[in-house]
Structure 1
Amino acid sequence: MLSAKLRQDLIDEKDMEIIFQQHIIEGDSYFFNSLINAPEKEYELRKELSRELKINIRDTVLVGSAKIGFSIKTRQFLEFDEKFRASKMRKDRSDIDIAIVSQALFDDLSEKLYKFTRHYDKAWIAENWQVNNYYSTYSPEKPKLHDSFFYYYAKGWYRPDMLPANFDPPWKETLGRWRASLNRKISIGLYRDWKYLKNYQTDHLETIQNKIKKLEI
């Protein structure tokens, strides 16, 4: 559900970068503060990630519905676990989304992926990059998996869920431990620069703002 403070800031047309900073980057997180009442665990998770990846903890940020309580990227702006409450199916539980911002890590993984795919060899891609652990079926009606990966890559965003199978990112071990501890899937989005994370988030915030103006929400 859209918070009263965020709604008012959007109605007042507050500077979008300030809204992004106040509501997306700073402040309490819905999952750790309100849902499980364990705010220290968020920082423990972020600290372990930053240590494993050799980055600063400030470059790991909780985002999405786990942060603000609802998804800003869907037309329905679903609340955290709303689909799960309706279906009771485990696959519909909301993820804990974490954005990592690191040019060095982004470039390092890009170089490793380049080598892993034999310099993006077309034959290799056709044989090995059609499905993975997240997308186990291929449909000719949908964009190819590698095309979808590079769509986000061009926007400065590295989507691990769209990587070829058997290309494991360096945070796998940490996320595995925390997934077991929290009994919740944890998803990573790696951004090359803060501007890409900001632009992705503010694009969705502007969509919400327009819906408010049109009295659609």
Structure 2
Amino acid sequence: MTIEERLDNFKVDLKDNTMSNLQITRRHFSFGTPYIFDKDESKYYKIKEKIADKFLIHTDSVKMVGSAKLGFSIAPHKLWKPLNDESDIDMVIISNDIFDLYWKELFEFNNIDHTSRTEEEDKQYKKFIEYFFRGWIRPDKFPFSYSKKKEWFEFFKSISYKEFGEKKITGAIYRENYFFEKYHESNIKNLRDGGLL
């Protein structure tokens, strides 16, 4: 299916008043082969397996999001922009165990190892907390440098620009499916309420 066909199907669902925001979220984000691997869906399993093996979780706990999944972006600043050479492959881990592991380490690091923050670190910390409140850890927003942050980025760098195409692969963590779905439901609601169809 082409990007245009995927986008048309997505917009049809957005306009369908019988479909809830949750149904659209599940149909387009939780299920189906990502656009980027439409020609070889075994690659989707392989990338999920690689990440799952690294974090000792089930492959069902790993999903692709963003334009690599849909074929186009729904981010406000690049709405409907098709996947292109500059697009990343955005992966998410949905696991309370992994989320809580990072939570505890960040708590220890912030409160024991790094009690003072520069103005820039404090600004970054506040951004990190905004996402954290929504059940989402974005390692690119980690406020400080600590061992797990370095390990995270080294792992995703090690699988980028290789067997999954000439693309950077990024990752984030949701504590549970509830938060994953609520985030995407909110985006769907904004698209529908904003008349951006």
Q: TM-score range by the shorter chain?
A: 0.7 to 0.9
2:170 is matched with which residue? 187
Letter in 2 for 1:180: Y
Is contact 2:88–2:168 with CA below 8 Å preserved after alignment? yes
Question: What residue number does 2:130 align with?
Answer: 151
Indicate the residue corresponding to 2:108 in structure 1: 115
Partner AA of 2:124 in structure 1: L
Query: 2:182 maps to which residue?
Result: 199
Distance, in Å, in 2 between the alignment partners of 1:194 and 1:119 is 31
Q: Is the 8 A contact 1:64 1:96 kept in 2?
A: yes
Q: Answer yes or no: is 1:161 the counterpart of 2:161.
A: no
Aligned pair 1:19/2:2, yes or no? no
Q: What fraction of aligned residue pairs are identical, expressed as a percent? A: 25
User: What secondary structure sits across from 1:100 in the alignment?
Assistant: strand
Structure 2 equivalent of residue 71 of structure 1: 73
| Aligned residues of 1:66 and 1:96 also touching (Cα < 8 A) | yes
Q: CA deviation at 1:27?
A: 1.2
| 1:95/1:186 contact within 8 Å kept | yes
Aligned twin of 1:98: 91
Compared CA separation, residues 122 and 32, structure 1 to 2 (3 A): same
Deviates most, 152-161 or 173-182: 173-182
Question: Deviation per CA, 1:11-51, whole angstroms, max 9, x where unpaired?
Answer: 11212211111111111211121xxx332112111101111
- Tell me the C-alpha RMSD between the 2 structures: 2.2
With structure 1 as the length reference, what TM-score do the two structures score? 0.77
What is the DSSP-based 3-state SS (H/G/I as helix, E as strand, rest coil) of the residue aligned with 1:3? helix
Counterpart selection for 1:80 from 83, 96, 103? 83
TM-superposition CA deviations, 1:56-112 (whole Å, max 9, x none): 10010001111001122224412222xx6xxxxxxxx11111111100110111111
Q: Which residue of 2 aligns with 1:52?
A: 54
Is 2:65–2:92's contact at 8 Å kept on the other side of the alignment? yes
Given residue 194 of structure 1, which amino acid in structure 2 is its aligned partner?
N
Instruction: Verify the 8 A CA contact 1:52 1:171 in the aligned structure 2.
Output: no
Residue pair 1:157, 1:191 contacting (<8 A) in 2 also: yes
Distance (Å, rounded) in 1 between the aligned partners of 2:104 and 2:72: 35
**Equivalent position of 2:156 in the other structure:** 175
Cα contact 2:7–2:72 (8 A) shared by 1: no
Quote how far apart the aligned CAs of 1:150 are. 0.7
TM-score, scaled relative to structure 2:
0.85
The answer (yes or no) to whether the contact 1:53–1:171 under 8 Å persists in 2 is no
Any conservation in 2 of the 1:48–1:174 contact (CA below 8 Å)? no
1:62 is paired with a residue whose SS is strand
Instruction: Give the gaps of 5 or more residues in structure 1.
Output: 85-92, 131-142
Q: Is contact 1:103–1:192 with CA below 8 Å preserved after alignment?
A: yes
Give the Cα separation in 2 of the matches to 1:95 and 1:42: 15
Q: Which residue of 2 aligns with 1:133?
A: none
Figure out how many residues of one structure are paired with residues of the other and give that number: 187
1:134 alignment partner in structure 2: none
- The answer for unaligned runs of 5 or more in structure 2 is none
| Alignment check: 8 A CA contact 1:25 1:61 kept | yes
Residue 116 (structure 1) shift: 2.2
